[in-house]
Copies of this chain bind each other. A is one copy, B any other.
Amino acid sequence: MASGSAAGVRVGRPRSQERRAAILAAAGDLMMEGGLKAATMEAIAARAGVGKATLYKWWPSRGAVALEGFMLRAADSWTLPEDVSAQEGLRVLAVAAVRLFTRTPAGPLMRALAADAQSDPEIAQALREQWMSPRRAVAAEVLRQGMASGELRADLDVEATLDLVFAPVYYRLLFSHEPLDESFAEACVAQVMTGVAAPGNNPAPPHAHTERNVQ
């Protein structure tokens, strides 16, 4: 499942796990070394010592390779400590994402994925379903537990809050306007928390998009 197929298009199981790993490593290396555009299917095949046909047998596109390479490296970034506060849970998730993107080839892989997703709906869908959805489900559960425990507002807009937590990380990853580091993720989560913290102190109605005079 999590370690399963890439873009949902693969049919056969590869004969050798080593070959898979070699290919995915080659893709990651190429993206690190020569930028995204150096990682052509041809270059990946050559680097991995593999025929192009083998690549296309297992993955339908460069994005699918990137997705699987990314999933492989991201597989262990899932552990969430139990019985933790919502704030700590979100912090752990956000920091883990930053670490994944800055300390492994998953960063360039995600950039390639996001770029390809703009023109390849299959990649976009696979990315959403295989990467974003499960992560968001975990984070949503954290939010829901926080809402139940009273740590968080009961009327929280869960989806918007998920975006507030994760979006800044991807934003900096993709646009590089400011450095992406762990302290940034923590600042964002902290900032978001004080907004979603239990009421008693935020006199302004959260959503009324006609409201004025906030204070």
Contact = CB atoms under 8 A, between A and B. Distances in A.
A44 to B, nearest CB: 15
Contacts of A79: none
A206 to B, nearest CB: 3
Interface stretch (A20-28, A51-59, A69-77, A80-88): A80-88
Contacts of A112: 118
Contacts of A102: none
> Is the interface on chain A under 10, 10 to 19, 20 to 34, or 35 or more residues?
35 or more
Contact of A118 (B115, B143, B161): B115
Given A128-B175, A132-B175, A191-B164, A183 B198 contact: no
- How many protomers of this protein does the assembly include? 4
A160 B174 contact: no
A189 to B, nearest CB: 6
Contacts of A201: 150-151, 200-203
A153 B198 contact: yes
Among the interface residues A117, A128, A163, A174, which one has the most CB atoms of the partner chain B within 10 A? A163
Contacts of A171: 163, 166-167, 170-171
Interface in A167-204: 167-168, 170-172, 174-178, 182-184, 186-204
A213 interface: yes
Nearest to A124: B176
A7 B24 CA distance: 34
Contacts of A156: 196
Contact of A163 (B150, B168, B197): B168
A193 B214 contact: yes
Interface string A116-150: 11111100100110001100100000010000011
Contacts of A86: 214
A102 to B, nearest CB: 16
A85 B128 contact: no
Contacts of A136: 177
9 tightest A-B CB contacts, nearest first? A201-B201, A195-B195, A190-B206, A167-B171, A167-B167, A36-B119, A37-B119, A115-B118, A194-B202
